[in-house]
């Protein structure tokens, strides 16, 4: 009944996503066009906990900037496990560094800069001919020693994949615009992150699977930080 109605309603028309009769999440056109309507079940929700605390090491993105790039870092901090330890370094105005997100060894996520603002994570850098990658990117730090043998944990991959899927969906970031600090820095001899043992294939395949199968919903709580240790990145 519903399908028959939709097929009649769709005959000869292109489908606008603003149609009051349907949403992208529930209905989509079949491969043969308007004559075929497929009903898809809603994607199961994955709730992503994010703790928030605000770093002073941030400023406005240039006016009109579109966020279209995601930069993966690691923190180069042997012996550190917790995202909050790195967050405390980002809270120190003297460090002059920050990132939008930090993912600890247990997969916990701390956000230090709002997406709309410019975090100071990539320093002097270039991506696809554009300078100052901080202007148009989101920076994610993975807590890791950067030795090449310190593992990125399963929990870190899981959180990174879910967070990335959310950001890709939110800002329409192309998967080809997800890259590492080491690939955009103007100082490749100094910045080597993420470390050699970071599994790009596992990460990017995971993001594609997440986008196809799950809807990521953030669960945000405020964070009261403790402790202070060093980090990386730059203005
Ligand atoms: Zn970095």
Residue 34 has pLDDT above 70, yes or no: no
Which pLDDT does position 192 carry in this prediction?
A: 93
Q: What percent of the chain has pLDDT over 90?
A: 76
For 81-110, what is the mean pLDDT?
97
Q: How far apart are the CA of 7 and the centre of ligand 1, in A?
A: 52
pLDDT at position 128:
97
Predicted confidence at residue 168, as pLDDT, reads: 98
For all residues of the chain together, what is the average pLDDT? 86
Tokens 């599994």 belong to which residue?
199
Condensed to tens digits (0 to 9), the pLDDT of residues 155-208 reads: 999 999 999 999 999 999 999 999 999 999 999 899 999 999 999 999 999 999
Give which of 69, 86, 68 is closest to 77, Cα–Cα. Answer: 86
Whole-number Å distance, alpha carbon 9 to ligand 1 midpoint, is 52
Q: State whether residue 69 is helix, strand or coil.
A: strand
Distance 202 CA to ligand 1 centre (A): 20
Q: Reply yes or no on whether 141 is catalytic.
A: yes
pLDDT greater than 50 at residue 7: no
If you write DSSP's letter for every residue of 96-138 in order, what string do you get? ----SEEE-TT--EEE-S-TTEEE--S-SBEETTEE-GGGGEE
What confidence score (pLDDT) does residue 23 get? 41
Statement: the pTM of the whole predicted model exceeds 0.75: yes
Are 67 and 136 contacting, i.e. CB atoms less than 8 angstroms apart? yes
Q: Which of 119, 215, 234, 125 is nearest to 179 (CA)?
A: 125
Q: Which of 128, 131, 141, 201 is catalytic?
A: 141
Compute the distance between CA of residue 152 and CA of residue 40 in angstroms, rounded to an integer: 35
φ and ψ of 135, to 5 deg: -60, -40
CATH 3.40.80.10 boundaries in the chain = 45-222
How far is 143 from 153, CA to CA, in rounded Å? Answer: 10
Q: Which CATH fold topology does 45-222 show? A: Lysozyme-like (3.40.80)
Residue 21 has pLDDT above 90, yes or no: no
Question: From the CA of 123, how far away is ligand 1's center (Å)?
Answer: 8
pLDDT of 26 strictly over 60: no
């Amino acid at each position: 009944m519903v399908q028959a109605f939709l097929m009649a309603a769709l005959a000869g028309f292109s489908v606008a996503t603003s149609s009051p009769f349907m949403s992208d999440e529930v209905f989509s056109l079949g491969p043969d066009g308007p004559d075929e309507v497929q009903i898809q079940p809603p994607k199961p929700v994955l709730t992503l906990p994010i703790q928030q605390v605000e770093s002073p090491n941030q400023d406005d993105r240039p006016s009109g900037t579109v966020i279209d790039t995601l930069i993966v870092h690691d923190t180069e901090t042997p012996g550190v496990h917790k995202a909050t330890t790195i967050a405390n370094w980002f809270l120190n105005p003297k460090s002059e560094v920050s990132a939008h997100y930090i993912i600890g060894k247990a997969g916990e996520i701390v956000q230090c800069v709002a997406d709309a603002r410019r975090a100071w994570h990539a320093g002097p850098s270039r991506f696809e001919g554009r300078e100052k990658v901080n202007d148009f990117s989101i920076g994610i730090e993975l807590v890791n020693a950067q030795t090449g043998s310190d593992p990125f944990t399963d929990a870190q991959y899981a959180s990174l994949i879910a967070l990335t899927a959310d950001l890709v969906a939110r800002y329409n970031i192309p998967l080809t615009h997800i890259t590492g600090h080491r690939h955009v820095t103007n100082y490749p001899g100094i910045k080597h992150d993420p470390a050699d043992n970071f599994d790009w294939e596992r990460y990017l395949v995971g993001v594609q699977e997440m986008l196809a199968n799950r809807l990521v919903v953030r669960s945000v709580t405020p964070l009261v930080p403790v402790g202070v240790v060093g980090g990386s990145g730059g203005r």
